[in-house]
Structure 1
Amino acid sequence: MASDDSEEPQTAFDDRVEAALETLPPAEQRMARFFASQKQSVLLGSAAEIAALAGTSDATVVRTARSLGFESLAALRQMLLTDLTGTVSPGKRLARTLQETGNDSASALRHVVGLHESALEALKRPDMEAAFAQSIDILARANRRHIFGIGPSGAMADYASLQFNRIGLTSSALSVSGVALADRLLWLASGDAVLMMAYAPFYREVEIVLDQAALHDVPVVLISDNLGPLVADRVAATLPVPRGKADHLATHGGTMVLLEAMIIALAAKAGETAFDSLDRLSTLRGAIDKAWVKRGTRKK
C-alpha cells in the first residue's frame, strides 16, 4: 500500500521517545509525548513556558529531557531542530502546502492570507511589542546597522538597508553567502548593531556573523521562528516571527511587516535626521532627473 504523504514523518527524535517511553515514570511519559507532539512549542518556549503548556513543572521538563539522554533542554532542542529542518526537502514542503490548498487559486489565496493573519496576530502580542521596542533602541543607538540575511532573506536585508539609509541611518546589507560575506564583514566595528534574519539549520555564515559580533561587542537583534532558543546567549533581543506551518513552504509576509514597522519606528527616533536625509534624496533625484524637482522637498 502506498504511504500517505500527508502524515507527519517519523523522525529520529520520535524514535528516541518511543524507545524510552516504557522506562519513564508516568509524569515523564506525558512530558516526552508532549515533546514529540508539540515540537514548535518546545523549540520556542522556555522551560517554564513549556511546563505551563503541558500542565507540569519546569523541573519535570528538564528531568524528562535528561531521561531521554540529553544533557540539557538546549541539546534536546538541537535534535528537534535538526529533525524539523533537515528531513523535508523543498519539493516535499511544496507538496504538503498544495495538499492543504488544492489546485484552486482562491483556496491558495485564502490559505496564504490565513497564514499572514496568524503572523500579524503574533506581532501584536505584548511580549513582541516589548522585544520590538528593545530592538529599536539597539538599532537606533548604533553607529551603523548591518542587516544579515541570505536566500530569500537576502532580498529583505537589501530592502531594509536601503530604507534605513534613506532615513539617514547608515546601514549595509550582509546579504551574500560564502567567502563573499568576508568583504562585507570588514565594516563591522564596535558601536554598530546587527539585525539578523536567520533560520535553522545553523548555517556557517550565521555562526561567523555571531562570532564577529561577539568579537567587536556588537549587539545582535535576531528575527527568527526557530533559531532563537539555540542562540539566546549570543543575541541581545529576539523577535520570533512565524513563517507559516512547519514542513510547509515558508512565508515571509510577517517579516516584511516587521521590517516596515522598524523603518517607521526608527524614523521617529531619528527625528530631523530622517527628514534631512529624505530632502537630500529628493535633491539628488532632481539632479538626475529634472521631473523629480517638481515634487519639491520638505524645505522648499
Structure 2
Amino acid sequence: MNVKNARPTTKRKQQDTYTERFDARREYLTPQQLIVAEYIYHHRAAMMDKSAMEIAQLTGTSDATVIRTLQALGFSGLRELKSVLNHIFGRTLSSSARIASTVYELSPDTNASIGFVVDSYRMTCDLLCDDENRDAIAHATGLLHSAQRIAIFGIGASALLADYVSRLFNRYGKPAYVLNRTGSSLSEQLIHLQPGDVLIMMVQRSPHREGTTVLEEARRLNISIILLTGSRNSLFSHHADCTIFIPRSVAEERIPVHGTPMICLEVLVLALAAAEPATPIKTVNRLHELSASINRPRKKRHEPE
C-alpha cells in the first residue's frame, strides 16, 4: 500500500496548519514518523485527549518517535499540536474535545482554572444584566405569573438544573414539574403538559429530537415558551415567546459552565415570588409546619396520649 496516497486530496483553501506542515515536510519524515503523522491526520479529534504514549501504542511506535515526528513537522511538542488542532476544529468540537482543548490551555497553576471559570461567569452575568435580557426576564416573569403551572425542559446537564428549579418554584407556591428525560421516557413526562401551563426550555443550537418534540407539543397546546439559550440563531428561538440569551462559555470550543443558567432560573423564581409575595410566604410557612410534624419525636407506647 502506498502510504503517501492513502490520504484524500485536500484543496489548498481548505487546508489547516497541520495539513500545510505535513504536506510541506512529509518527504523528510522517516517511515515510522510518516506512520505517526498519517495517524494524527486521520484521527485529529481523538488527539485532543491522547498522550504521546497512547499515540505510540496506537501507531505501533514509541513515544520518542511521536515527539520527534511533531518536532519534524514544526511543533514544539504535543501541547502545541493540541493548541493548533483546537483552532482547526472550531465549532465542530465534541464534548470530549472541548474538555481537552480547555484543560490543555490551562497552566498547572490553579489560578488559571480560577480565572477561566470566574471570567466565564463574569462575561455571561454581564450579558444577563444587559437591557435586552432584562426586558426578556420581565416578559418571562409576566408569563410565569399568569401560568397555572410551570414545566421546565432540560436534558443532559440541564436535567439537573430543571429538577432543582422545579423544587424552588414549588417551594415558593407555584406548581412546577420537569421534562428532563431522554428517548421514549420523555413521553411519560410530556403527557402532563396542559393548556394554561408555561414552558421554560433550556436548549442550545442543536435541534435534538427531545427538544423538537417538546416544542411541537407546546405549540399544539398553545403554551407560551420561555427560552434560555446560548445560541442566537437557535431553531427554538423562532418559536419562543421570549428568549433570554445566556452563553455558557467564553467560546464555543471551550467547556461550558452551567452556573449561569442556574443564576437566570433563580432570578425568575425570585422575580415571580416578589410579584405576589403572600403566596411564597404562606407556602414556606406551611412547609415548616409539615417539616416540624414529620420531625416531631414519636411518643413511646406507654406514654399517655
Q: Same fold (TM over 0.5)?
A: yes
Q: Against the structure 1 CA distance between its residues 212 and 227, is the aligned structure 2 distance closer, same or farther, given a 3 Å change threshold?
A: farther
Partner residue in 1 for 2:180: 175
Partner residue in 1 for 2:123: 118
Partner residue in 2 for 1:102: 107
Counterpart AA for 2:82: D
Tell me, yes or no, if structure 1 residue 253 matches structure 2 residue 259: yes
Counterpart AA for 1:255: P
2 CA distance for matches of 1:211 and 1:227?
20
2 CA distance for matches of 1:228 and 1:190?
27
TM-score by length of 2: 0.68
Q: Which runs of 4+ in 1 moved over 4 A?
A: 8-11
Partner residue in 1 for 2:149: 144
2 CA distance for matches of 1:119 and 1:184?
31
Tell me, yes or no, if structure 1 residue 187 matches structure 2 residue 192: yes
Partner residue in 1 for 2:220: 215
2 CA distance for matches of 1:228 and 1:198?
12
Q: Against the structure 1 CA distance between its residues 228 and 161, is the aligned structure 2 distance closer, same or farther, given a 3 Å change threshold?
A: farther
Q: Pick from 83, 87, 90 the counterpart of residue 6 of structure 1.
A: 83
1:169 is displaced (CA, Å) by 0.3
Percent identity between the two aligned chains: 29
Q: Against the structure 1 CA distance between its residues 97 and 10, is the aligned structure 2 distance closer, same or farther, given a 3 Å change threshold?
A: closer
Tell me, yes or no, if structure 1 residue 279 matches structure 2 residue 294: no
Q: CA RMSD in A?
A: 1.7
Counterpart AA for 2:121: H
Counterpart AA for 2:262: M
Q: Work out the number of aligned pairs and report it.
A: 218
Q: Secondary structure, in 3 states, of the residue corresponding to 2:134?
A: helix
Q: Secondary structure, in 3 states, of the residue corresponding to 2:231?
A: coil
8 Å contact from structure 1 (residues 150, 176) kept in 2? yes
Q: Secondary structure, in 3 states, of the residue corresponding to 1:220?
A: strand
Counterpart AA for 1:256: M
1:246 is displaced (CA, Å) by 0.8
TM-score by length of 1: 0.69
* Structure 2: gaps of 5 or more residues: 1-72, 298-305
1 CA distance for matches of 2:130 and 2:235?
22
| Higher Rg | 2
Counterpart AA for 1:270: E
Counterpart AA for 1:148: F
1 CA distance for matches of 2:132 and 2:108?
38
1:227 is displaced (CA, Å) by 6.1
1 CA distance for matches of 2:96 and 2:234?
27
1:98 is displaced (CA, Å) by 1.3
8 Å contact from structure 1 (residues 198, 227) kept in 2? no
Partner residue in 1 for 2:58: none
CA deviations 1:33-91 (Å, max 9, x no partner) are xxxxxxxxxxxxxxxxxxxxxxxxxxxxxxxxxxxxxxxxxxxxxxxxxx72xx21222
Partner residue in 1 for 2:296: 290
8 Å contact from structure 2 (residues 227, 236) kept in 1? no
1:257 is displaced (CA, Å) by 1.0
Q: Secondary structure, in 3 states, of the residue corresponding to 1:181?
A: helix
8 Å contact from structure 1 (residues 228, 238) kept in 2? no
1:228 is displaced (CA, Å) by 4.8
